[in-house]
């Protein structure tokens, strides 16, 4: 790292003022880890507070749905779990944005040479709930629309390729379908970060510039386009990490389902789970969400805020503004 950069040995120094500099994606992630480690307890508290609605809805939905299903009403149990699952996903999205607002406030205070506790950051962010909800709805519509369009395009290409290959025989259909699915999957992995990069900095924009929902999304998009390559690379890295984390979770769930089947806890014909084993899946979901709340999401929020300040530093001379603010703080003291 270049001179003036954060290093892991700097992390425990409470009064250190973080210097702004031109960051690469790896620099941002490395600095984010250092900051996260230095304020782990406070940042983790923000994460837990933000993710609590998601965790509660997941636990209640899984337990209630399993209880109903164990009484023989599989359809109602599935509906209950589905509704609570949808609510948990909505709460998760809004929670991530709220967390980004609070973490950005903490990092902004750190940049100015101060220190903000989790409680102070949460209280300051509560006044931004309207902007959090508005930006959450707009960004969810953008990302959801992008995913739907990419899925439709993927299915359209797959259908055309299938019709064309059908003339050549069954073997060609299978081969073409496999190739199209692989290429289409890679294309979706590479294209989704384009849209994700445009909404990365919503939380910091709400926190630092007091912007409303739509204005925060526009501001985030503008900053991302100012250094598209870095923003896209960061968004791609985040997407890959999330996919890997999800794969680990899915593998654990499948392992548990296999063990349930092995020991007679799962009926593959009806997909009914023995109530005695249902709590295991609930426990796995809860632990996964707790890990996300304490470690994954807060660390990503720190990295997002760092990238936001870095982009403003490069395009707007934010270091000059912060140096001016530090001077005011010292004069007032």
Confidence of residue 98 (pLDDT cuts 50, 70, 90): very high
Confidence of residue 329 (pLDDT cuts 50, 70, 90): very low
| Residues of the chain above pLDDT 70, percent | 64
pLDDT at 41 (0 to 100): 84
Measured on CA atoms in the order 306, 309, 314, 318, is the torsion positive or negative? negative
Query: 314 vs 330, which has greater pLDDT?
Result: 314
SS3 category, 112: coil
pLDDT at residue 9 tops 50: no
Query: 326 vs 118, which has greater pLDDT?
Result: 118
247: CB partners within 8 A, 6+ apart: none
Confidence of residue 38 (pLDDT cuts 50, 70, 90): confident
| Residues of the chain above pLDDT 90, percent | 2
CB 307 within 8 A of CB 23: yes
Q: Of 15-19, 133-137, 210-214, 221-225, which range is least confident?
A: 15-19
Phi, psi of 273 (to 5 degrees): -105, 135
Q: Please name the residue that has the structure tokens 């994700």.
A: 196
- As a whole number of angstroms, the distance between CA 90 and CA 58 comes to 11
pLDDT at residue 222 tops 80: yes
pLDDT at residue 256 tops 50: yes
pLDDT at residue 214 tops 60: yes
49 token code pair? 């507070």
Q: Of 20-24, 85-89, 260-264, which range is least confident?
A: 20-24
- As a whole number of angstroms, the distance between CA 237 and CA 303 comes to 12
Query: Pairing state of beta strands 266-267 and 272-273?
Result: antiparallel
Burial class (CB in 10 A: 0-12, 13-18, 19+), 177: middle
Helix extents (H) in the chain: 25-38, 40-70, 74-111, 118-126, 129-166, 170-197, 202-209, 213-226, 228-262, 275-291, 297-316, 318-332
On average, the pLDDT of the chain sits at 72
CB 58 within 8 A of CB 85: yes
Q: Please name the residue that has the structure tokens 């940049």.
A: 111
Give the mean model confidence (pLDDT) for residues 261-289.
Answer: 62
pLDDT at residue 252 tops 60: yes
pLDDT at residue 77 tops 70: yes
In this structure, the chain runs to a length of: 333
**CA dist 154 → 160, 171, 266 (Å):** 10, 21, 35
Q: Please name the residue that has the structure tokens 């709460």.
A: 91
Beta bridge partners of 273: 266
pLDDT at residue 180 tops 70: no
Domain residue ranges in the chain? 25-332
Q: Of 3-7, 277-281, 284-288, which range is least confident?
A: 3-7
CB 9 within 8 A of CB 37: no
pLDDT at 185 (0 to 100): 66
- As a whole number of angstroms, the distance between CA 208 and CA 235 comes to 21
pLDDT at residue 137 tops 80: yes
Phi, psi of 267 (to 5 degrees): -95, 110
């Amino acid at each position: 790292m270049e001179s003036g950069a954060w290093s892991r040995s700097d992390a425990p120094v409470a009064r250190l003022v973080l210097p702004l500099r031109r960051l690469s994606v790896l620099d941002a992630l490395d600095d984010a880890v250092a900051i996260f480690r230095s304020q782990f307890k406070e940042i983790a508290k923000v994460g837990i507070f933000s993710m609590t609605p998601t965790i509660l809805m997941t636990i209640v939905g899984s337990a209630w749905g399993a209880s109903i299903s164990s009484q023989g009403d599989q359809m109602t149990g599935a509906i209950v779990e589905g509704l609570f699952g949808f609510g948990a996903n909505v709460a998760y999205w809004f929670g991530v944005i709220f967390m980004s607002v609070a973490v950005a406030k903490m990092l902004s205070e750190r940049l100015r040479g101060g220190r903000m506790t989790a409680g102070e950051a949460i209280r300051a962010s509560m006044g931004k709930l309207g902007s959090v909800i508005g930006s959450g709805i707009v960004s969810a519509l953008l990302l959801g629309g992008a995913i739907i369009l990419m899925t439709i395009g993927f299915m359209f290409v797959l259908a055309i390729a299938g019709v064309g290959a059908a003339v050549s025989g069954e073997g060609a259909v299978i081969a073409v379908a496999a190739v199209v699915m692989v290429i289409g999957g890679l294309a979706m992995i590479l294209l989704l970060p384009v849209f994700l990069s445009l909404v990365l900095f919503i939380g910091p924009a709400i926190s630092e510039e007091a912007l409303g929902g739509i204005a925060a999304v526009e501001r985030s998009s503008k900053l991302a386009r100012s250094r598209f390559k870095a923003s896209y690379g960061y968004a791609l890295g985040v997407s890959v990490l999330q996919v890997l984390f999800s794969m680990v979770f899915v593998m654990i769930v499948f392992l548990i389902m296999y063990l349930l089947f092995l020991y007679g806890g799962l009926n593959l014909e009806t997909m009914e789970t023995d109530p005695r084993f249902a709590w295991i899946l609930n426990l796995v979901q809860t632990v996964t969400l707790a890990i996300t709340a304490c470690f994954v999401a807060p660390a990503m929020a720190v990295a997002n805020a760092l990238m936001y300040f870095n982009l403003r530093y490069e395009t707007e001379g934010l270091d000059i503004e912060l140096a001016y603010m530090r001077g005011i703080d010292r004069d007032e003291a």
